Structure 1
Amino acid sequence: MGRLFWKFFLSILLAQVAATVAIGGTIWLRDRAHRGSAPTLDAGPPAEVMTGAAAVTLRHGGIEALREMLGDLQRPALFVLDPNGKDILGRPVSDELRNHVDQMLASEGERHAVRAFTGPDGQRYIAFVPRGYEFGRPGREPQGRLGPPGGSLPFGHHIGRIAPIVAAVLASLLFAALLAWYFARPIRALRSAFEAAAAGDLAPRFAAASGAQRDELADLGRDFDRMSAQLRSLMDGQRRLLHDVSHELRSPLARLQAAIGLAHQQPEKVAASLERIERESMRMDRLVGELLTLSRLESSPKVPRTETIDVAEMIEQIADDARFEAGQTDAAILVDVVPGALVRGAPDLLWRAIENVVRNAIKHGGEAGVQIALRRDPHFVHIEVLDRGPGIDDADLPSIFQPFFRSNPQSNNVDGHGLGLAIAQRVVQAHEGKIMAANRSAGGLCVTISLPLAS
């Protein structure tokens, strides 16, 4: 058990014990005050019947018959005082009780609580029943709250008073242990997950340890599982990105070294070697530029500067640039736009995203023509870039927006690094939009970019 368990356990236990002691102390003080209060006499019908019976017994049977009756009587406790103020059975009667009896005789009210009568010997006797009195056999010291000071309660009576407090303490002990265990168990599981994460193991493990528990601590543990899974995914992506970058740089570097070696071996072909070196250096420059763009988008997904952009005008300009660079006719790249499609965003980033998608379509399906369609609804602008190329395997569709992904790189002899669509996805997401890809039923690929309309 950890320190937190004992903190929970002792805190709850102390609170329960304090409550138990407070309740027990209140009951004890009330009982003590009740004991110290003025004695009272039983004035109910049973007491009246018993005092009347004592008078009849004394009148017809004498003092001995009355003593025998009082000796056999257990409840209620009937006292009979002789002219000297002493009980005929020899039971002690406190001065406080005797004074109270005299006050009752002298008062006009409640005369039935105390009965005075004359015996056959002409002497005056007083009979009464004290309320709440317990006593033993004649000759033993009476026991009860009206008895003399120093009277003690029986052992069983003490046990009966202490037993509820002991039971409450034991129940508090059990309840505190269960509650402390309930709180400490998910914290121990969370600590184990932290230790595993610190050791490099980011696999989610809290959910399996906590089971079906549903509370704030369990929610915290599941949030940690999601965080560790996300960190694991990011670290795997970084390792994969480093591997892909190394692979992409290795090929142009190898070609650069080959061109330099050829220039040394065949000086007459220096011009061709320099042309190759320039081409490979430009390729590496594009790769590094795309990597920097992707890194900036991933490290700071927020758009740095926004302004209102006419998407239709931007698409027309991108299509013109693509026609010029591809050297194709106007019919090869068809544009179908609607006016009034305005969005808020960074012009340079959106231009780069749409241009990457268009260039990708031209590379893979440009010979059969590319179509760019713009449509809008009450909330979004939708840009569709459609080609008639070979398309992509359905299993590869979820992966085309990952960095350095290229479908069928062995059979698809297309220049590129596989970063264009990854950059486009990051840009669209930074503008709170969506980008999706799907194969066309007639062949080719359709990439759809959805951006929120400017308010």
Structure 2
Amino acid sequence: MNIPAPRIYARMAFYVGTALAAFLALAVGSVALLASAELASYVQTRQGPLGQEAAAVLAEGGRPALERWLAGTQVPAGATVFVLDAQSRDILGRTMPAYLEGFVRNSVVGPPDEPGSNYRPVRLAPQIIGPDGASYTFLVLPKGITIWGSPAITFGLILAALLVVGTVAWLVAGAFGRPVGELQTAVRQLASGRLEARLPAGITGRRDELGDLARDFNTMADQIVGLLEGRQQLMAELSHELRSPLARLQAAVALAAHRGGLGETERGRIEEELGRLDQVIGDVLRFSRLGSAAEIQRRLVRVGELLADLVRVEQIEATARGCELRLDVRDNPTVVGDPALLRSGLENILRNAIRYSPPGASVEVSARSEGGMALIGIADRGPGVPEAFLQRIFEPYFRAPGSGGPATGTGLGLAIARRVFEAHDGTVAAAARPGGGLLVSARLPLADFA
């Protein structure tokens, strides 16, 4: 089974990916902007002449003069100046940030130079030398910026994250939340009996799973409306079909009462109407039961043998009406289905053809295999059906105007036939026959012996 790619998840992934890219862009931009603003005074101090001034003061007055100079020097607000001895201690006794102590000791101040060695390790801050040969490290640090960044940068990142998350939430709510809400409302409306409930084109036109679901909902709602309307029509037609024989029965009983007993004519009439009532009720039961897949007992069925037996049985009625049945079976196709149901469906079509065939005409029954399907055709030379009604003749109780012929059936024969073939994954259709008459064609999948 081919499962289509989940388009809705691809859309959500696109939103999330776009959100991450936007967040990274905003984060980098905000960090660069805020950091450049906050580090401006630090860079100015580091690149300024303070280090040279400190070296001159140390050379002239030693450490005491350097301490006085450091305590009284105005340093820009964005920077802090430390002067560290060989043990990485500030000469004014100020405490270094704990997270910087190891870094400063190893990479900024560094180990003492080895006597007599011409190698000097790289240090990340300038060194100034006193008159006594003692070396000091001149270290400039940005004020307010830690290893975790500054409060302004943290605030900028949080603001960027909230902006991106809010935008994505708004997009997701508009793209998924609103359609789901409208679908839920439509489902509740339909469940409450509002059969006109449908989803708008804005949702059904989507090209993702929500659009598929919306289209399926509208299709389901249309089918429910069609089923309910069909049931109402079925009940109305059934009432008419039952009322007519009941009225004739009442008339026959009244006539018998008037005469003081049942004569042969009244008895025959009552038996005929009772038989018609039994036929109507039986057809209604068969029609309703065909909606259940559990009623179908599937087995191998040879279509040619089924048609031959059916033609043999119906030949009696065809002879009584003055017409002839002709059977043409090629390949004797085999299908999988319920023999009783298939016989019932084909019997209804064949009887309908016999009923409308004029005396001296022939009804042609054929079967063959083609393209993995069993093709069954029943053709007559009756009055035919107008093209506009060829599809409707399979509806319950529908009679095509101008079709002529005796209206002796229950009006469910072709409707039962259609349900039989659809229950077997087949189809049935009617077409005008060249030269006059009607051709009813049924298609059933061939049995797979592979």
CA distance in 1, matches of 2:293, 2:197: 26
* 1:364-375 map, 5 Å: 364-367=356-359, 368-375=361-368
Letter in 1 for 2:138: P
Provide the C-alpha distance between the structure 2 equivalents of 1:221 and 1:277, rounded to a whole number of angstroms: 55
Query: Which AA in structure 1 matches 2:387?
Result: D
SS at match of 1:413: coil
Q: CA RMSD, aligned part only?
A: 4.5
Q: Cα 1:232–1:128, aligned 2, differ >3 Å: closer, same or farther?
A: same
Question: Is the 1:440–1:446 Cα contact (8 Å) retained in structure 2?
Answer: yes
Matched residues in 2 for 1:253 and 1:362: separation? 27
Amino acid aligned to 1:94: R
Identity, % of aligned positions: 33
Post-superposition shift, 1:386?
0.8
Secondary structure (helix, strand or coil) at the match of 1:131 reads strand
TM-score by length of 1: 0.69
Counterpart of 1:344? 336
Match of 2:300 in 1: 308
For the residue of structure 2 that corresponds to 1:344, the secondary structure is: strand
Q: Deviations over 1:245-281 (max 9, x none)?
A: 0011111111111111222223487322222111111
> What is the one-letter code of the residue matched to 1:361?
A
Query: Where do residues 83-162 of structure 1 align in structure 2 (5 Å cutoff)?
Result: 92=92, 94=94, 109-110=120-121, 113-118=126-131, 124=132, 130-133=138-141, 158-162=151-155
In structure 1, distance between residues paired with 2:380 and 2:178: 58
Structure 1 residues 106, 255: closer, same or farther in 2, change over 3 A?
same
Gaps of at least 5 residues in structure 1 are: 1-11, 28-41, 119-123, 135-142, 146-152
Q: Are 1:422 and 2:430 an aligned pair?
A: no
CA separation of 1:203 and 1:53: change in aligned 2, threshold 3 A? same
Q: Tell me if 1:362 matches 2:354.
A: yes
Task: Tell me if structure 2 keeps the 8 A contact 1:133–1:144.
Answer: no
TM-score by length of 2: 0.70
Aligned match of 1:284 = 277
**Distance change in 2, residues 1:56/1:225 (3 Å):** same
* 1:439 equivalent among 419, 423, 432: 432
Shift of 1:50: 5.5
Structure 2: 5+ residue runs without aligned partners? 1-15, 32-42
Aligned to 1:388: 381
Q: Distance in 1 between matches of 2:114 and 2:50?
A: 21
> Against the structure 1 CA distance between its residues 130 and 244, is the aligned structure 2 distance closer, same or farther, given a 3 Å change threshold?
farther
Which whole-Å CA distance do the structure 2 matches of 1:416 and 1:103 have between them? 111
- Are 2:268 and 1:275 aligned? yes
Question: Equivalent residues in 2 for 1:252-263 (5 A)?
Answer: 252-263=245-256
- 5 Å-filtered alignment, 1:34-53, equals 51=52
1:68-106, CA deviations, whole angstroms, 9 ceiling, x for partnerless residues? xx9799799888899xxx99xxx9463779x97998666
Give the Å deviation of 1:430: 2.2
Q: CA deviation at 1:440?
A: 1.1
For 2:444, the equivalent position in structure 1 comes to 451
Change (3 A) 1:47 1:238: same
> 2:406 & 2:322 partners in 1: Cα distance?
25
What CA deviation, in whole Å up to 9, does each residue of 1:418-453 have, x standing for no partner? 111111112222222221110012111001122233
